[in-house]
Amino acid sequence: MNKTWNNKAWFMVLPVLLLVAFSAVIPLMTVVNYSVQDTFGNNQFFWNGVGWFSDVLESDRFWQALGRNLLFSGIILTIEIPLGILIALNMPKKGLGVPVCLVLMALPLLIPWNVVGTIWQVFGRVDIGLLGRTLHSLGINYNYVNNVFDAWLTLIIMDVWHWTSLVVLLCYAGLVSIPEAYYQAAKIDGASRWAVFRYIQLPKMKRVLLIAFLLRFMDSFMIYTEPFVVTGGGPGNSTTFLSIDLVKMAIGQFDLGPAAAMSIIYFLIILLLSWIFYTVMTSSDEQA
Amino acid sequence: MTSQATTANTIQTGVASNAGAKAGAGSKRSLSWLIPTLYIVFLMLPIYWLVNMSFKTNQEITGVFSLWPQSPTLRNYAVIFTDPAWYSGYINSILYVVLNTVISVAVALPAAYAFSRYRFLGDKHLFFWLLTNRMAPPAVFALPFFQLYSAFGLIDTHIAVAIAHCLFNVPLAVWILEGFMSGVPKEIDETAYIDGYSFPKFFAKIFVPLIASGIGVAAFFCFMFSWVELLIARTLTTTDAKPIAATMTRTVSASGMDWGVLAAAGVLTIIPGALVIYFVRNYIAKGFALGRV
């Protein structure tokens, strides 16, 4: 759409700008403020320069948490995106099955995140949970409380359970928008199932897949509540993600300076990655 | 199967090929039926277990392992509905979620219109800046939020949580609405102005009904993300506006963990979400693509 140049449009954006600025800019400036100052308590602060930043960047704790975050996001993206596409391809196209599938699949998305954590914490428990109990009776020594591998496995299955539906619904939306004529043309050409997927369905889903990828990456990168409820960051520090570490530092130990410096680094990483995604997305918009 | 269908196509006339196509579709459906079903079973198992637990007594939960309640009880739900500390949590949650949805959609409407219709100084940068707030980790903002809202004396009020949740819901609402609005041809605006409509009248009488489904979808997403968020909601509230999800963390008592009540509370937090999904089920597919398919 060719848009008119009109700077008065700023007035329409103003309410949003003020509201978001109140909620975003002021808190962010507070964080910046803390990140460059140190205190002896008593609300007396003095300039600390980039001290906290270099502390954070030199600490193993930060890099390990960052590594865990990247590993987690990587694993769940490689599972959820292909699985979501597979399920979306096999969804019923019409009839009663459609609303039933949509409603049931969307259900996990609307469960409060700590309830998701609670559900899986209970479900995986060896004494009272269906999953833990079943695995135990099969002779598998599953225990997410003190086994690192089991803790990770539980978190990954939980995230797949929680969020794959988002990918499914997005892909499904992309698929139903493909006109029937495309499939008929493919049939006349004798296209194989794979060719239909590769040259018709995948290109049509590109746009929604990008949204799915973007949303899933961002949300998994800042995951907090669910692992906090299920494992509390343990066993040891094995599931302590950046956000968990951050809250521990800021509210638990009240180390405001390092926590603020870490917040800013964390935010900058997300900002950089988001900018890359945004550029890719808008450039694909212009091609279309 | 496919080869048979193609043979039928080449040899016989339209009617036969039609039948072949139908048979092909039928056999494919019987196969593909399995995958979504398995997935839904996987989704429902943990939820079933929670519902199952919520109807059991605590002795049964910890003592006996059973796939369904042996002696079904409503005691867990009775605890929640008779204790104001419990049920006020639901009222608080619903209050701030609705408040947030109304504010988010109301401010996002004009902004989305501006983004979809006009170019202005710094529009792209502004749009990206808005989106970055959707990407901001709540953990980063928890502490400064507490200090900011303390300074304004807003701690433990519903409006504080509603405004704080605007941080991620307003950008999302702008994003969704902009997608839907861009799908409305610009000629409609121009025709309305020629017909003598003023801007506010045009917006309310013509434009808003045209993008009603988009507004529904945006509201659904705001509701969803505000309902599921806990970290900020818990940080900003102490007693009067405490959300239900935070109340749930108090089930550990002197007599040990009250699993039954915890499960019942969990089940009750699923219900509003399920109701909302049921109402928007016909728009869900389009909505999840943010109107941009």
Domain layout of chain A by residue ranges: 9-287
Instruction: Check residue A84 and give its pLDDT.
Output: 93
Each residue's pLDDT tens digit, B53-87: 888 887 777 777 777 788 888 888 888 888 887 88
Q: Which of A1-5, A8-12, A245-249 has the lowest mean pLDDT?
A: A1-5
* Residue among A113, A175, A122 at smallest CA distance from B261: A122
Contact B277 A251 (CB under 8 A): no
Same domain for B162 and B280?
Answer: yes
Q: How far apart are CA A112 and CA B103, in angstroms?
A: 21
Contact indicator for B137, B193 with CB cutoff of 8 Å: no
User: In whole angstroms, what is the distance from residue B72 CA to residue B57 CA?
Assistant: 8
| Residue B236, SS3 per DSSP | coil
Q: Is residue B58 part of a domain?
A: yes
Mean pLDDT estimate for chain B: 79
Nearest-angstrom CA–CA distance, B175 and A89 = 27
Is residue B5 over pLDDT 60?
no
Same domain, B43 and B185: no
Nearest to A147 by CA among A227, A209, A231: A231
Q: With 50 as the cut, is the pLDDT of residue B25 above it?
A: no
The pLDDT value recorded for residue B26 is 43
How many domains, in total, are found in chain B? Answer: 2
Q: Is residue B70 part of a domain?
A: no
**pLDDT at residue number B103:** 94
Co-location of B33 and B94 in the same domain: no
Phi/psi for B290 (5° steps) reads 55, 35
Q: How far apart are CA B260 and CA B61, in angstroms?
A: 8
Cα–Cα distance, A81 to A20 (Å, whole number):
31
Q: Which chain A residue lies closest to B225 (C-alpha atoms)?
A: A110
Alpha helices in B152-228 (DSSP H): 158-182, 186-194, 199-202, 208-210, 212-228
**Residue B73 within a domain:** no
Give the mean pLDDT of B252-268: 76
Assess if residue B113 is contained within a domain: yes
Residue B177 reports pLDDT greater than 70? yes
Does residue B8 fall inside a structural domain?
A: yes
Same domain flag for B180 and B283:
yes
Query: Looking at the domain assignment, is residue B133 inside a domain?
Result: yes
Does the structure show a pLDDT above 80 at B252?
no
A 171-210 → B contacts, CB under 8 A = 172-174, 176-177, 187, 190, 193, 207-208
**Is the confidence at residue B104, as pLDDT, over 90?**
yes
Q: Verify that B47 and B100 share a domain, yes or no.
A: no
Q: Does the pLDDT value for residue B18 go beyond 80?
A: no
Query: Distance from A3 to chain B by nearest Cα, in Å?
Result: 5
Q: Which residues of B touch A107 (CB under 8 A)?
A: 43, 47, 270, 273-274, 277
- B52 shares its domain with B94: no
Query: Per CATH, the architecture of A9-287 is what?
Result: Orthogonal Bundle (1.10)
- In-domain check, residue B293: no
- Any bridge partners for residue B57, and if so which? none
B130 to A122: CB separation less than 8 angstroms, yes or no: no
Tell me: do B202 and B275 sit in the same domain: yes
Cβ distance of B273 and A15 shorter than 8 Å: no
B143 & B221 share domain:
yes
Task: Give me the half-sphere count of Cα atoms (radius 13 Å) on the Cβ side of residue A152.
Answer: 14
Contact A112 B123 (CB under 8 A): no
Q: Do B114 and A10 touch (CB under 8 A)?
A: yes
For residue A45, which phi and psi values (nearest 5 degrees)?
A: -115, 150
Burial class (CB in 10 A: 0-12, 13-18, 19+), A123: buried
Question: Structural domain of residue B121, as residue ranges?
Answer: 81-288
Q: Given B67, B246, B270, which is nearest A111 (Cβ)?
A: B270
B118: three-class secondary structure by DSSP: strand
Domain annotation covers residue B75: no
Judged by CB atoms closer than 8 Å, whether chains meet at A122 and B103 is answered as: no
| One domain, residues B253 and B202 | yes
Closest CA–CA distance from residue B245 to any residue of chain A (Å): 7
SS3 at position B252: strand
**Does residue B150 share a domain with residue B33?**
no
Q: What is the CATH number of the domain that holds B101?
A: 1.10.3720.10
pLDDT digits 0-9 by tens, A91-136:
887 777 788 888 888 889 888 888 888 888 888 887 778 888 888 8
Name the band, by pLDDT with cuts 50, 70 and 90, for residue A82. Answer: very high
Least confident of A47-51, A79-83, B205-209, B211-215: A47-51
B/e letters for B185-204, b = 16+ CB within 10 Å, e = fewer, are eeeebeebeeeebeeeebbe
